[in-house]
Amino acid sequence: MQLTETAFAKLLRFESTKSGGKLASLDQYISRSGQKDIFYITGTNKEQLEKSPFIERLTKKNYEVIFFTDPVDEYLMQYLMEYEDKKFQNVSKEGLKLGKDSKDKDLKESFNPCVVVTSKYGWSANMERIMQSWTLSDASKQAYMRGKRVLEINPRHPIIKELRDRVVKDSEDESVKLTAWLIYQTTLMESGFMVNDPKDFASSIYNSVKTNLNISPDAAVEEEDDAEEVEAETEAKEATTNPKGDDEADAAKDDADEEPSAVKDEL
């Protein structure tokens, strides 16, 4: 690493899983964590990253993870590979290792049924979202730089175990196929990716709800009666046209009713 990069890295300030809401430097991170490598994750805000499935296993093992929440951090980490002989590792990418003796499965298996990671040298989910928001971005470059998505499954999770048993019983079960597709789409969102077709995803959710409520997939929405619709529109129009006049008429009527009573009291 060049001296200029080292000097620049010393100026970095960030929050982490162990910073207690305060900004810290890389030197503080190294002295506090005592880790061989520097783990980090990128996203839109700290609150979102704290709930990320990628840091579950790391925090359980008492490792410290840096939160990079500024878009410029994504560009920075493409060039900042190491600091003080410690390599940076993006915990949302494949190939994450804790040390020489650690196994990949220790990190891949989280409390979630599955996660979607990106290839080591491609864009992260956060970088992909940033580039998609640029109206003048090159679509061909996006396709080239977009990281390969890898679905990592936790075979010990009860959802995955039940899904596997149902596939064994009937691999053509449409409800099982729908469930698997919904799990994948949900995992994409939880891993930081954007759903390509939100409407299609919402429709699948509604179909799943119908199944759970024992409603036929072909059940149609009841049409509103024309007479009721016309009456409702007429009442709404009258209320909108003269709301103040009705109030004044009611007030005048009340005054008229009160006048005889007042005269009677004087007599």
Over residues 199-229, the pLDDT tens digits come to: 888 888 888 888 888 888 788 888 776 656 6
Q: Which of 32, 87, 84, 21 lies closest to 62 in space, CA to CA?
A: 32
Tokens of 255: 């005054």
Ramachandran category for residue 159: left, alpha or beta (phi over 0 → left; psi -120 to 50 → alpha): alpha
Tokens of 154: 């936790």
What's the average model confidence in pLDDT over 50-74?
90
Burial zone of 42 (CB within 10 Å; 0-12 exposed, 13-18 middle, 19+ buried): buried
**For residue 64, is pLDDT > 90?**
yes
What's the average model confidence in pLDDT over 140-147?
64
Q: Are 65 and 57 in contact (CB under 8 A)?
A: no
Residues 88-119 have pLDDT tens digits of 999 998 888 776 545 444 444 557 899 888 88
**Can you tell me the distance from the alpha carbon of 56 to that of 109, in angstroms, rounded to the nearest whole number?**
9
Q: Which of 236, 180, 179, 246 lies closest to 212 in space, CA to CA?
A: 179
Rounded to two decimals, what is the model's pTM? 0.69
**For residue 266, is pLDDT > 50?**
no
Distance between start and end Cα atoms, the chain: 104
